Amino acid sequence: MSTDTIISVKGVSKKFCRSLKRTMLYGMRDVAGDVLGLSQHSDGLRPDEFWALDDVSFEVKRGECLGLIGPNGAGKSTLLKLLNGITLPDKGKIKVAGRIGALLELGAGFHPMLTGRENIHLNAAILGLTREEITEKFDAIVDFSGLQEFIDSPVKHYSSGMYVRLGFAIAAHANPDVFLVDEALAVGDILFQSKCYAKLREFRDRGITIIFVTHSLDLVMTHCGRAILLGKGNVIGNGTPKVVVDQYNKMITEGETKNDVPLGNRAVVVDPSSPSKDIEWNGLFNVNPNEDRYGTKKVEILEAGIFTISDLPAQILERNQEYFIKVKVRHNDQMPGPIVAYVIKDAKGTILCGTNTSYQDMDMGWMSAGDVIVVTFRQTLRLNPGEYMLCVGSAAYEEGEYVVYDRRYDYMSFRVFSDEPRAGIFDAESAIEWCRIH
Amino acid sequence: MENTIYSGQLSTQGSKPDESKFVEVEYTSRGIRRDGLAGWRLMVRELVGSRRLIWLLILRDISVRYRQSIFGYGWAIIPQIATVATFAFLHASRVLPIGDTRIAYVAYALWGISVWQLFAGCLSNCTTSLVSSGSLVTRVNFPREALVIAAVGQPVFDFFIRFVPVIAVFVWYGVAPSWGVLFMPLVLLPVILLALGLGFVLSIANLIIRDVVNALGMALTIGMFLTPVLYPAPVRWPFFLINFLNPLSPLLTTSQDLIAGGYVTRPEMFVAAYIFSLAVALGGWRAFRITIPRVAPYA
């Protein structure tokens, strides 16, 4: 281990058991074996066990900010627990040269009946601070938490935001050499969040090593110098954030479509002059199995999708490119053409943009039962990088009343990427000029 | 606002990063299992390092326990008095043939139950200490023996509160303890150590299988009647065997001897029980330290 390596992980594996009953059985057996000094065959799997981490190796240099990404169940949290020494690996070796601090759960160990002041003393002692260190930092902790007025009330009267603020304030003052952060920051109000990120940046600038587990690829791109992608317990990618994040995006889409051919390269035979009218889109996209669907089905949405200008299906989109958002509907009755709509929502459910055929005065004439049409929205995508939901719907006014025929909220997700940074949720396409006036 | 915080921040931490103090830790599946003496050294170092934490945890438990209650610390005494009153009644009415005791029965029973409560309280408090700390055990790496050791604080504190009725009863019945009571702390220490040692093991077992705490409740109820708490130690065969099998019996009997007569009836038994308790405490501690990384995720 060279001197500037602060963490070295070599061939580390950790197994878990799916069944609770067997967990108890194995637990008792292993514990008895540990105590009696029996040899343990920890490198094999017993029934119902699986490798949560399988032969993971990597190194972290002093002062690095490492992003750890991967889908749920990839083993990120397990890895953090191993790095923190809370639990031991079943195979392999982890070396840590320094004091590890963790933000795995903010306010873990707070006692609801104790006041904020008492909890600061206790929690800081748990995190390994000496009495002198605590006395020295007490005011800074209270200041950072912004809870001066409430410091002598029992924390059970705190809001969850206040609770977390105090937890972060204590953890941030524990002076670690390595800081493990597990998405715990996605709480509290926006001001406090920004304060937390500022604190993390300050840590990074002071040369404290940070390992950051998150689902927010944005954060990895902006804060981290390197990223590691975990998937099913293995290190799949390890490199610059941009490369690894791309790899992650690719992995997600492949995993969901259960197909090894990357979407962008899929050969779809479509005559560009008749945009994807006749083929089944089913299978081109990984649609959300948990969509929220309701309506009378008088006009049924058969499927929807996003296509590039050259009519290739796409679920990872580039900002400021033009796309076709297509909605295929079947009329189950004789009727005038319905209103067909799409909206795009963010992960929190806020509607970001959208339109429909009625807003834009599309008149589709009279339809007979069995008619299938495709409505194509030609759309330049202005949204900034992130994950979004496509929602589609059909409806009409029947005798002055708005009737929903088929509404499919969260029909499918898609991701947007871009090389150029912009603030906010969309690219306002600003033009910048300057001139000297003195 | 933001600025003042940061300047305060940096000034307190500016001098910090000190490369020489980096300790290298290595984690493998082996843990400290085969480390022998080095393992013991590590354990002692961790224990010494966490003595302030243990103290704070004890203060927390004591100060928090009765914050939202009317009778407050009275609850340390009330159940004990109720039990003794019941048995005093059974004794007086001759419903239960309880043999003669060297001091007044009520004083005898009250003392016995205080010591028993000390043991039982320590043991059950230690057993639940990890489970009741929940996310602290799974999410934070710190010497978790502190939680188990600190769990002893509350019952010990309660024991001191129970001195109030004990002294009152002794005065009332005119029981004048011998000078031997000065050695009482030495006799009670192994009671606590025995409970702590068993508690180390049971706290781990309880993390894996939650039945343990329920089974313990039952075992303690039975155990109270298998220990000469409310009746004098049996002397007839085969019942006196229980005095040999129950390590708590000689400890309790010796404490009663100190109060009543100043001489110890069976010193060899007492010494054996003393050594046994010490061994249980050390063995439990070691077993705890070896297995905690394996069971921490169960909390």
Strand partners, A180: A102, A211
Give the residue ranges of DSSP H helices in B74-183: 78-92, 105-133, 135-139, 145-150, 153-172
Q: Is B277 on the interface with A (CB under 8 A)?
A: no
Has residue B10 got a pLDDT over 70?
A: no
pLDDT value of position A1:
55
Query: ω before B238 within 30° of 0 (cis)?
Result: yes
Buried b (16+ CB within 10 A) or exposed e, B84-102: beebbeebeeeeeebeebe
Three-state SS letters, A294-321: ECCCCEEEEEEEEEECCCCECCEEECCC
Assigned token pair, A294: 């309701």
**Cα distances (Å, whole numbers) of residue A25 to A14, A22, A30, A161:** 18, 5, 9, 39
CB contact under 8 A, B27 and A89: yes
Percent with pLDDT over 70 in chain B = 92
Task: Determine how many CB atoms are found less than 10 A away from the CB of residue A130.
Answer: 12
**Mean pLDDT, range B222-244, rounded to an integer:** 81
pTM: 0.73
Best mutation target among B140, B280, B282 (most A Cβ atoms within 10 Å) is B140
Per-residue DSSP letter, A154: B
pLDDT value of position A39:
65
Out of B142, B204, B297, name the one closest to residue A128 (CB): B142
Confidence of residue B106 (pLDDT cuts 50, 70, 90): confident
Out of B4, B135, B209, name the one closest to residue A24 (CB): B209
Condensed to tens digits (0 to 9), the pLDDT of residues B18-54 reads: 443 456 788 887 777 777 788 899 899 989 989 999 9
Q: Is B172 on the interface with A (CB under 8 A)?
A: no
- Residue pair B257/B263 in contact by the 8 Å Cβ criterion: yes
Tell me which of B193 and A334 has the higher pLDDT.
Answer: B193
Buried b (16+ CB within 10 A) or exposed e, A209-245: bbbbbbbbbebbbebbebbbbbbbbebbbbeebeebb
Best mutation target among A31, A53, A79 (most B Cβ atoms within 10 Å) is A31
Q: Is B24 on the interface with A (CB under 8 A)?
A: yes
Task: Determine how many CB atoms are found less than 10 A away from the CB of residue A89.
Answer: 25
Window A:67-86, CB contacts with B under 8 Å: 81-82, 84-86
Has residue B100 got a pLDDT over 80?
A: no
Assigned token pair, B89: 């009644």
CB contact under 8 A, A37 and B34: yes
SS3 state at B220: helix
Strand partners, A326: A305, A376
Condensed to tens digits (0 to 9), the pLDDT of residues B123-148 reads: 999 999 999 887 888 888 889 999 99
**Mean pLDDT, range B182-200, rounded to an integer:** 94
Nearest CA in chain B to A123: B53
Window B:184-223, CB contacts with A under 8 Å: 204-205, 208-209
pLDDT value of position B212:
93
Assigned token pair, A318: 């580039």
pLDDT value of position B22:
52
Out of B5, B60, B133, name the one closest to residue A143 (CB): B5
Out of B23, B29, B205, name the one closest to residue A88 (CB): B29
Number of Cβ pairs < 8 A linking chain A and chain B: 156
pLDDT mean by block of 10 residues, chain A; 438 residues: 83 88 85 78 80 92 91 86 89 89 79 91 90 93 91 90 87 87 68 78 88 80 87 90 82 53 32 48 79 88 88 85 90 89 85 87 84 89 90 89 88 86 87 90
**Mean pLDDT, range B222-226, rounded to an integer:** 88
pLDDT value of position A271:
36
pLDDT value of position A278:
53
Cα A8 from Cα A12, distance rounded (Å): 10
